[in-house]
Structure 1
């Protein structure tokens, strides 16, 4: 089974100038912990709730004055729609992430979440193992 078979195609993303407050509101609306950052639909970064807490709140920053370009991660772990879902599960486990952007020719085309893997019963053990590793902070 390929990533395209289980990914979510409609993905909320923001531009580099979006404020941290707007990103946090989007995370709340979508009930997610990370949001892709795109410029002209090209994926250029990702921001997590942890980025906001550690790089802005804990640092005493003003959430209204910080935009995601100031704190986003540019080292993006992503998959293509044609990759096997087992590869996606392995990447989630290895890099300790719950959501992987799906990219084709630099463009964001979807997101595959750990929950998407769990829906496919054949992958339930892999998704469970990946989630367990992520929750425990295990590194392989």
Structure 2
């Protein structure tokens, strides 16, 4: 099975100049935890997560009127729609991420969330394994 068979195609996107407040409200209204950031040609520039807003934004003194350009994750890990779903879940596990932007020819075409994989009967175990790895606490550097 390919990523295109499981991904969400209707994706809310943001622009770099969107405010933290606007994006936080969009996440709340849509009940989502991340929004891809694209330019005017739908080229992926980054992704902003609820965690980015808190860790890189609010905790660093960047309030609601700051733009997401300073808090977003730049150059996020992404896959193409023809990527094998098993390979995508391995990437999610390896990089401890729950959402993968899907990019074809440089343009955002969807997003693959761990939940999209979990609802596929053939991939329940892979989704569980990926989620276990994603949810593992990071080990302190001693």
Secondary structure of residue in 2 paired with 1:13? coil
Check 1:138–1:59 CA distance in 2 against 1; reply closer, same or farther (3 A cut): closer
1:53 corresponding residue in structure 2: 54
CA distance in 2 between partners of 1:4 and 1:61 (Å): 36
> Which segments of 5 or more consecutive residues in structure 1 lack a partner in the other structure?
none
Give the TM-score of the pair, scaled to structure 2. Answer: 0.92
2:5 corresponding residue in structure 1: 5
Residue by residue over 1:48-97, the C-alpha shift from the partner in whole angstroms, topping out at 9 and shown as x without a partner, is 11111112211222212x10112212121001000100011001101111
The aligned runs of 1:45-124 (5 Å cut-off) are: 45-64=46-65, 66-124=66-124
Q: Which runs of 4+ in 1 moved over 2 A?
A: none
Give the TM-score of the pair, scaled to structure 1. Answer: 0.93
Q: Is the 8 A contact 1:96 1:137 kept in 2?
A: no
Q: Shift of the alpha carbon at 1:138?
A: 5.8
2:27 corresponding residue in structure 1: 27
> Which segments of 5 or more consecutive residues in structure 2 lack a partner in the other structure?
none
Secondary structure of residue in 2 paired with 1:128? helix
Secondary structure of residue in 2 paired with 1:58? helix
Q: Is the 8 A contact 1:45 1:75 kept in 2?
A: yes
Secondary structure of residue in 2 paired with 1:36? strand
